[in-house]
Structure formats: C-alpha cells, structure tokens
A and B are shown apart, each in its own frame.
Chain A
Amino acid sequence: MTTTTTTVKSEKEAQKDRSQARQKEMIANHFKKLARAKEDGKKVVYTFVPGNLAELISALDMLPVLPEINALQSGMRKRSGAFIQEAEKAGHSEDVCTYVKCDLGMLKKGNIGPTDEPLPPPDLLLLSYTGCFTFMKWFELLREEYKCPVVMLHVPYQAGGEITQEMRDYVVAQLRDEVIPVMEKVAGKKLDMKVLQQHLALSRTAEDALVQVWESARHRPSPIDGYFGGVYYVGPIFSSFRGGQDAVEYYKELLEETNDRISKGLGPMTPDGVMPKEKYRLVVEGPPNWTNFYDFWRMFSREGATIVSSTYTRVGGLYDTGFRHDPDKPMESLADYCLGCYTNLNLPSRIDLLEKYIKDYQADGFLINSVKSCNSFSVGQLLILRQLEERTGVPGGFIESDLVDPRYFGKANIENRVQSYLQMLEARRNGGR
C-alpha cells in the first residue's frame, strides 16, 4: 500500500478538467456580478442549497448568494478556522454547526467572498427550510445582523418515505401566497410565468445531462469520481446557475468529457491527474471535509479508490431517481424539488438509496464520513452502517471529521482508518474475512 503523505500538491497545483475551468470562470463572473449588484440595481437573495428556488430567483432577475457555498469555499481556502474562532469569540458555542459560525465570522470580518470581492448584503433572506433545522436558526441569526426581510418556506419532511399531495399542496400554497409575493415586492417586478417556465426547461436539460454523468459510473473503470469529483459536478446545479444557459453548457461539456473518458477507457480526473487504475469502487455517505479537501481526496485516489456514488451530491436535488423540474407544472415541480432533496428523506429511505447505489454501481464497499457539524446527516449513521452491511454484505467504513472546522480534521487518524479499511477490502477480495 502506498503512502499518501508525500508531496501533497496544493489546490492550485491540482490537475483539473476543462469543465472545472469553465465552472471556475462561471463562479468568478457570478461573484463579479454580486460585487456590482448595488450599482447595477440588482437585488440580492441569500438562500440555502437544499430546496433553493434558483429558477424563481433568476426569473425575477435577482442574484443568489448561498452561505453554505461561501463557508465551504472559506474552508477550502483555509480561512474558515479564523472565521469560526471569530464567531466563537462573539458567543457562539463550540458545539454548533461550523458552516453557521464560518459564515457569521466572515460577516464580522467584512463579508469578503471567495473571490476576494465584497459580498453585498441581502435584500431578502429566502429561508428554504428543507432537511435541516439549523437553516432556520442561521437565518434568524443573519436577520439580526442585516435587518432585512425574511421569507420562510416550510418544507415538510418525508417522514413516511414519500411526497404526499398534502405536502405538495402546502409548499405550493406557501410559494403562491407568501414566497412569490414577497420576492416580487423586493424585486420590484411581477413574476412572468413564461420566463419561469423557460428557466425550468433549462434546468431540466441540465438535470438530464447530470444524471447521465452520474450513471456513467456503472462503467469499469468509472470515468468519474462521484464524491470528490462529484462536488464539482453539482456545483452549478446546486447553486446560482440552475435554470440558466451557462449550466446547460457546463453539463454538456461535462458529459462530453465523461463520454470521452469512457471511450478511452480512462478513470476519473483526480488532483494528481487521471487515475491510472481503479482498484476499489466505493459509495460514500455524508459531506466531505473542506479544510483538507485535497488531502482527503488523495487518501482515496492514490490508493486507486474511486467513489462511484455518494449521497452528499444529492443534497441539492435528487435527480437520479427520476425527478426533473417541469415547465408544465412550475409550482408543483418546485415543491417536489424542495421536498425531494436528500436530507429531506427519512432514514429508511436514505438506507434504501444507499443500498441501491451500492448495488447499481457494484461497489466493493461503502464509507460514512460523519461530520460533527451536521446532525441532519450524522444522527443515525451508525445504524445506517449496520443496516447496509446486513442488507448488502458489503463492508462499511466509518470516519469522523467536520465540514469547515480544521480542528476536527485529524489527518493521520483519518488516513490510518482509510488505509486500514482499504486493506480490509483487499484482504476480503483475496479470500480473507
């Protein structure tokens, strides 16, 4: 087994696909637009990734800011530790979500975004309360800071394992009676349903392409990494770009790259270039660590471990079970989108989905990265581990870290666990137990 601790390249030195470069440019442009928002007369909406209403925001010609994305970007840029400490100095508990503290710390330090440009304050906090209670507290905290309007969209939880008509009706009624009127008031214009439908149609096109990219991992070797690479793949569709032409172009290019790798029998792009040999196929549950993202990725890629599917990449929309935004049913499909995000699924449904991924993608194993910050993900993961092993016979691994608090990423400890886990898979493959 090779060691992964030598000559770790920085993020800047990591090799990237064309689509990644395109995405970087898209993001840079978006943050430039945000920096100019006030002078351009654009209204700014802060909102969350799961259950985000990107099409509504763009149909009203507003610009979204996603605090989770800012937090994870701060993590990747090694700034989150200082931001978190800033929030803790201001009285926030060490026990709570580090995304929240990172965002509050960033705000207290001038709200400079990931591209080093200032982020505009929100004209509206659009609280899509989907799959995470902390979101509610987060925007209550931001409301204290910004003193701007907040509109809440309460998305019921899929406790029974399905979206019922009552749930859909409730979400649609809130959209119709509260969310859209408040957004229209802030935007200073009425929602044009035809424009919304155009955005929804563009979403659907991008979603079709993304699903093809996900499903390419059925190939051996998998041409994609569905977790570490996957977080790049979902970047545009989870954030500011869903419903726009840029996202359609991005996913077209991503799919072309993926198909090109399939035709050449190539594995996924990793920080060290194309993975030379696929030795292990894994499914991962739980968000990644962002403070040491590339170290974390290399712990797998340098051992020939490809993540063929993951659940984190479904938090902003679960498309590979069939959902698509539908221009013919705009409100209903926005509701179903919000209701269907991964963290809005109950625990039995999450286990069913993981089991499906393990089987569909012929995984050798599955790994749970349990993050301290996120109770929505983490509570129940040890039961998920047991249940999945029982149902599939595939061995599971369990590691712990955090989203953006560098104090909770024990590199040596995690690396030891990952290596031991992969050694165990190797031993099983060779007939050992």
Chain B
Amino acid sequence: MEPTGGAPGRTAADPAADVLEKARVLAEDLALNTVKAWKQKNPGMLAIGHLPVYTPRVMFEAMGCLPVAVFGAGEIDIIKGDSYFQSYICHIPRSTVELGLGGQLDVLDGMVFPSICDVIRNLGGMWKLMFPAKMSAYLDLPQNFAWGLGGRFYMGELKRIAAETEKRGARPLTEEGLRRAIKAENARRRALAELDALRREEPHKARASEAYLVARAGGVMLAEEHEKLIREFLAAARKRTGRPMDNVRVVVAGSFCEQPPLGLIKTLEKAGCDILEDDFQLGLRMIDGDIELKDGMPALESLARAFTERGRDTASRYVPDDTKGQALIRRVKECKADGVVFAAASFCDPALLDQPMLEHALTRAGIPHTSFKFAENTGQFQVIREQAGAFSDSVRLWGGQAA
C-alpha cells in the first residue's frame, strides 16, 4: 500500500522504508559499530571524532581518515557525565563525556573541538586531561573573514591540525588527496542540496525527520558513501505518491549544536508544520555552494576560502555588518516559508543570545515566529506539540497575527 499523504515511510510498501531504516541505524549508532567495521576494513587508518558545528571533514578524508560526528547521545541515561557539569550547562558536553567514559568513543583516535562556544572549547581542554592518550585538537575557526587576516590564520590552523593528525598515523595531507576529497565532498553537498530542494518543493515526499536521519547518517560515513545514501533516499522518496498536506511551511532555527530528539522533530510535523529548512546538521551545509577548486590555487586555500567567504550565518559566527537576521529572512523567503520556529537547546548561549536579534528582524519583516527550548534527552513533547499546533493554526488562519 502506498502512503496516502503527509506521512510516508511508515508502511512496508513505502519505497523509502529500507533506506530510511539504514539511515536510522547509522544515525543512532552511538556504539560506533560502523566506525569499528570501517577500521577493520582499513587497518592502520584513523577515525577522528568532531563536535558540532563545523569541522572540515574533507581534510581528514584527504588524509585517509574517517571523520566521525560526535553530536551527543540523544536520550541515553547520563550517569557519569552529569558529575562533571553543573546543572546550568547544556546537555551535549555531559553526554559526550558519558560516551567517552563509557568506552563508546574508544574507537576514535582523536577528537576535534571546533571553536563554537565556551562549552565546547572548555570540553576540549577537559578531553586533554581525561583522555591524554588520544589526540585532542581545538580548531580555532576565524571570526575575522578578511583573507589576509582570518583566512591566513585559518590556513595555519588547518595545517597545524593536519600535522598533528599525521603524527598520529594519518597519511600526509597532499594536494592531490585533498582535491580528490573535495570533489567527493562537493558531490555529497550537491546531493544534500537536492534533498533540501525536495523538502522545500514537495515536503510530503521528504519530511524533515527523514532528511534529518539521512543527513545525520553521514556523520559516520565518508562523503562518497554518504552521497550514495542520500541519492538512494532521493530516488525512493521521489517515487512516493502521497499528496501535500495542509501544513504551514516553517524554518526551524537554533538547533545547530545540540541536536533535538527525533521525536521532537516528528512532533513539530504532527503539529502541522512542514519543516522546509533547519540547522540541525548545519556543519554539512555550512558552506554555501561548492568548495571551488581553481587552477593555480592550492586546494587547502580553496577549503579555507570556502569557509571565510561563503560560510553560513549562524550564532557561533560573527556577523561583521549590520545584517543580523537578514540571512534567516532570506532563507525564509527562498523556501517560501510561512514562519520560523526557534528551537534552541537549553543553556545554549550562542543560540539564545542570538534569538532576540533574529526575532526582532523577523518581526520587522512581518514573519511570524515562535520559540521553545529543548534538551537532546527531552522526552515529553506534549507542550511543544500544543505550542507548535497553536502556531500552525494561527499562521493558517490569520497569517501569524496571533502567534
């Protein structure tokens, strides 16, 4: 039986059921069995973990490594991790420590902590002390985007981390290797762009909760394999014959680091929201367009320039001009969304400090919005469902005036 609209992927006959199940297993692979299998197949090769938001995974792939997204532990019980953090700290560091102390991350040869907030930054320092035998690298992403300043510094950061990874046994970073990896990465990015386009144009064929699984599965895969998975899902989803639902079209913002539980995303959908765009797996979409390889320009410079020149606006990235909120408004307009749902992790300073500025920008632009907070282990969604439902209804009935 074909799904009849709105919620495909829930019946045995759903053409996307198999690929979604494959993606779910990968996305929920907290024991990193996929990574263990990869290392068995590739003896001597390294697996390098990285925290959100953005780490140039492509550089590690070029060195023969498997980059592994360590984006929290969802709803698992936190026992040891809580004893390292005060109650007012967000959830992702405690679940990361829980995984580390529980041995689930033993398969990783190193961890990269990108400079996105004070919590992840300090977690990097803790890692050095708690797991001294492993590589623990802090990636200081530039906040100055002038090429001669921040760009040059960033190139140095990438070279430093590449050298550190090489010392741990990775292959040297070569021009040829990086070019090859960037081509694979660009192919993955195009597939992701197609997935995003399908969500925008036919949200009943590719729901956000499904796109989330398909994207997150890429956290334990090389770009080339991930591209295949995305394309497999795309092919299957396009075969779906469901019809559009009478949902409101929303963009979800603020979940770029700690990830919302899948149940929360589904709750928003059940509450009548088609999530056309989000920042759940922002790292994979951090750069607008391809990483452009040019003749005469070293591939590492291409990679660095892609970040400094075409990095996406987000709370952990300084917006040098007085354009706060403009990027979000642009995205809302591009995907013809009716409104924005802010979903920030509790105690997430960057998201929550950013949010009032974004809200003001949306209000000025006449775009309805609503907000709530979550933690990756949030288990009760009823209140969120009611709030999102009220938002959805108000947008449908009054264009958001009552939101």
CB–CB A154/B144 < 8 A: yes
Does any Cβ of B come within 8 Å of A92's Cβ?
yes
Cβ contact within 8 Å between A379 and B349: no
Q: A144-B324, A177-B149, A383-B126 in contact; A346/B357 too (CB < 8 A)?
A: no
Point out the residues of chain B lying under 8 angstroms from A347, CB to CB: 122, 125-126, 128-129
Partner of A137, one of B84, B116, B144, B350: B350
Binary per-residue interface labels of chain A (134-152) against chain B in the complex, 1 for a CB within 8 Å, 0 otherwise: 1011101101100100101
Query: Which one of A134, A137, A147, A159 lies within 8 Å of B322 (CB-CB)?
Result: A147
Count of interface residues, chain B, beta-carbon cutoff 8 Å? 57
- Which chain A residues lie closer than 8 Å to B146 at the CB level? 177-178
Q: Any chain B CB within 8 A of the CB of A308?
A: no
Interface pick from B23-31, B40-48, B188-196, B312-320:
B312-320
Q: Does A381 contact B (CB under 8 A)?
A: yes
B350 touches A95 (CB 8 A): no
Give chain A residues whose Cβ lies under 8 Å from the Cβ of B349: 95-97, 133-134, 137, 375
Partner of A400, one of B86, B320, B354: B86
Interface membership of B381, Cβ < 8 A: no
Complex: how many Å from CA A147 to CA B123? Answer: 35
A259 CB, nearest partner CB in chain B, Å: 38
**Does B78 lie at the interface of the complex (its beta carbon under 8 Å from any beta carbon of A)?**
no
Contact status B86-A381, CB under 8 Å: yes
Residues of chain B contacted by A378 (CB below 8 angstroms): 86, 88-89
A346 close to B138 (CB less than 8 A): yes
CA gap between A59 and B254 in the complex, in Å: 41
B119 touches A152 (CB 8 A): no
Interface flags, A340-355, vs B, CB<8A=1, else 0: 0000001110110000
Beta-carbon contacts under 8 Å, A88-109 to B: 90-93, 95-97, 100
CB interface residues, B 127-142, toward A, < 8 Å: 128-130, 137-138, 140, 142
A132 touches B318 (CB 8 A): no
Most chain A CB neighbours (cut-off 10 Å) among B116, B117, B315, B356: B356
Please report the C-alpha to C-alpha distance between residue A136 and residue B148 in the assembled complex, in whole angstroms: 21
**Residues in A whose Cβ lies below 8 Å from that of B137:** 159
| Interface membership of chain B positions 170-186, coded 1 if the CB is closer than 8 angstroms to chain A and 0 otherwise | 00000000000000000
A209 CB–B CB distance under 8 Å: no
Among B86, B324, B352, the residue within 8 A (CB) of A140 is B324
Chain A residues, Cβ within 8 Å of B385: none
A346 CA to B344 CA in the complex, in Å?
27
From A100, A143, A379, B93 is in contact (CB under 8 Å) with: A379
- Which of A166-174, A245-253, A413-421 binds B? A166-174
Q: Of B123, B320, B356, which is within 8 A of A91 by CB?
A: B356
Residues of A within 8 A of B117 (CB): 133, 375
| Residue A431, interface by CB 8 Å | no
A41 contacts chain B at the CB level, 8 A cutoff:
no
CB of A156 closer than 8 Å to a CB of B? yes
Are the CB atoms of A379 and B89 closer together than 8 Å? yes
A173 to B129, CA, bound (A): 33
Complex Cα–Cα for A326 and B360 (A): 45
Question: How far, in whole Å, are A177 and B150 apart by their CA atoms in the complex?
Answer: 12
Within 8 A of A (CB), among B283-316: 315-316
Q: Which of B146, B318, B347, B349 has the most CB of A within 10 A?
A: B349
Residue of chain B at shortest CB distance from A373: B88
Question: Which has the most chain A C-beta neighbours within 10 Å: B138, B353, B373?
Answer: B353
Given contacts A178-B149, A383-B126, contact A137 B315 (CB under 8 A): yes
Beta-carbon nearest neighbor of B125 in chain A: A347
Q: Would B143 and A154 count as touching, CB distance under 8 A?
A: yes
Tell me if B38 is interfacial: C-beta within 8 Å of chain A.
no
Residues on A with beta carbons closer than 8 Å to the beta carbon of B88? 95, 372, 378
Who on chain A is nearest to B316 by CB?
A133
Residues of A within 8 A of B121 (CB): 133, 157, 159, 376, 379
Contacts of A134 in B (CB 8 A): 118, 349, 353
Assembly CA distance A171 to B140 (angstroms): 13
> A379 touches which one: B119, B322, B357 (CB < 8 A)?
B119
B152 near A: Cβ within 8 Å? yes
In the bound assembly, the distance between CA atoms of A376 and B117 in angstroms comes to 9
A141 vs B142: C-alpha distance in the bound complex, in angstroms? 20
Query: A177, B353: Cβ atoms under 8 Å?
Result: no
Give the complex CA separation of A134 and B388 in angstroms: 29
CB of B156 closer than 8 Å to a CB of A: yes
The reply to whether B149 and A129 contact each other, CB–CB distance below 8 Å, is no
In the complex, which residues of chain A have a beta carbon less than 8 angstroms from the beta carbon of B150?
154, 170
Report yes or no: A375 in contact with B85, Cβ–Cβ below 8 A.
no
**Contact A137 to B354, CB < 8 A, known contacts A152-B144, A157-B115:** yes
- B89 near A95: Cβ-Cβ < 8 Å: no
Most buried by A among B115, B125, B140, B316: B125
Contacts of B122 in A (CB 8 A): 347, 375-376, 379-380
A370 in contact (CB, < 8 A): yes
Evaluate contact between B85 and A379: CB separation under 8 angstroms: yes
| Min distance, Cβ A67 to any Cβ of chain B, angstroms | 14
Instruction: Collect the chain B residues with CB atoms within 8 Å of residue A382's CB.
Output: 83-86
A383–B322 touching, CB < 8 Å = no
Q: Let me know if A387 is at the binding interface, CB within 8 A.
A: yes
Q: What 0/1 readout, one digit per residue, does chain B (92-133) give for beta carbons within 8 Å of chain A?
A: 010000000000000000000001111101111110111000
Report the nearest B residue to A400, measured CB to CB. Answer: B86
CB distance from B343 to the nearest CB of A (A): 13
| A333-371 residues at the B interface, CB under 8 angstroms | 346-348, 350-351, 370
* Chain B min CB distance to A78 (Å): 23
Please state if A159 and B124 are interface contacts (CB–CB under 8 Å). yes
Given known pairs A137-B315, A140-B324, A376-B118, the reply for A348 and B129 (CB within 8 Å) is yes
Residues of chain B within 8 A of A147, CB atoms compared: 322
Distance in Å from the Cβ of A334 to the closest Cβ of chain B?
A: 16
Cα–Cα distance between A160 and B138 once the two chains are bound (Å): 8
Nearest B residue (CB) for A95: B347
Give 19 CB contacts A-B under 8 Å. Answer: A92-B353, A95-B347, A133-B117, A133-B349, A141-B356, A141-B357, A144-B324, A144-B357, A159-B124, A159-B138, A173-B152, A347-B122, A351-B129, A375-B117, A376-B122, A378-B89, A382-B83, A382-B85, A382-B86
8 smallest CB-CB distances across A and B, nearest first, come from: A347-B125, A159-B138, A137-B353, A379-B122, A375-B118, A93-B352, A154-B143, A376-B118
Residues of B within 8 A of A (CB): 83-86, 88-89, 93, 115-119, 121-126, 128-130, 137-138, 140, 142-144, 146, 148-150, 152-153, 156, 160, 315-316, 318-320, 322, 324, 344, 346-350, 352-357, 359-360, 373
Contacts from A to B (Cβ < 8 Å): 90-93, 95-97, 100, 129, 132-134, 136-138, 140-141, 143-144, 147, 150, 152, 154, 156-157, 159-160, 166, 170, 173-174, 177-178, 346-348, 350-351, 370, 372, 375-376, 378-383, 387, 400
